[in-house]
């Protein structure tokens, strides 16, 4: 699915400079940023879920330790 990304002039210039520094296209830099963002949030969601599961598993003990 295609989409348009509208950036203000300052962000466009910063993105262009970063892409030039890396020898990559602005498109490639944006794709990498999106991938990094999604991976980070997927890890956070997994950690949250494991925390909820472990808290439920140890709930009785945690209640006694209060």
- What's the confidence (pLDDT) of residue 60? 84
**Does residue 62 contact residue 55 with C-beta atoms inside 8 Å?**
yes
Q: Is residue 3 situated within a structural domain?
A: no
Whether the CB-CB separation of 28 and 19 falls below 8 Å is answered with yes
Q: Which residue range(s) make up the domain with 23?
A: 11-65
Give 7-62 pLDDT, tens digit per residue. Answer: 999 999 999 999 999 999 999 999 999 999 999 988 888 888 888 888 888 888 88
Q: What is the pLDDT of residue 65?
A: 86
Whether residue 38 is contained in a domain is answered as yes
pLDDT of residue 31: 96
- Asked if residues 40 and 30 have their Cβ atoms less than 8 Å apart, the reply is no
Number of domains composing the chain: 1
pLDDT at residue 36 in the model: 95
pLDDT of residue 39: 93
At 66, list the tokens. 């209060």
Q: Quick one: residue 15, left, alpha or beta (phi over 0 = left, psi -120 to 50 = alpha)?
A: alpha
Q: How far apart are the C-alpha atoms of 33 and 2, rounded to whole Å? A: 17
Q: What pLDDT is stored for residue 62 in this prediction? A: 80
């Amino acid at each position: 699915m295609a989409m348009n990304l509208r950036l203000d002039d300052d962000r466009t210039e910063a993105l262009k400079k970063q892409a030039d520094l890396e020898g990559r296209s602005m498109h490639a830099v944006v794709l990498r940023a999106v991938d990094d963002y999604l991976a980070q949030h997927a890890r956070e969601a997994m950690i949250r879920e494991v925390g909820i599961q472990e808290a439920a598993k140890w709930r009785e003990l945690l209640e006694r330790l209060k």
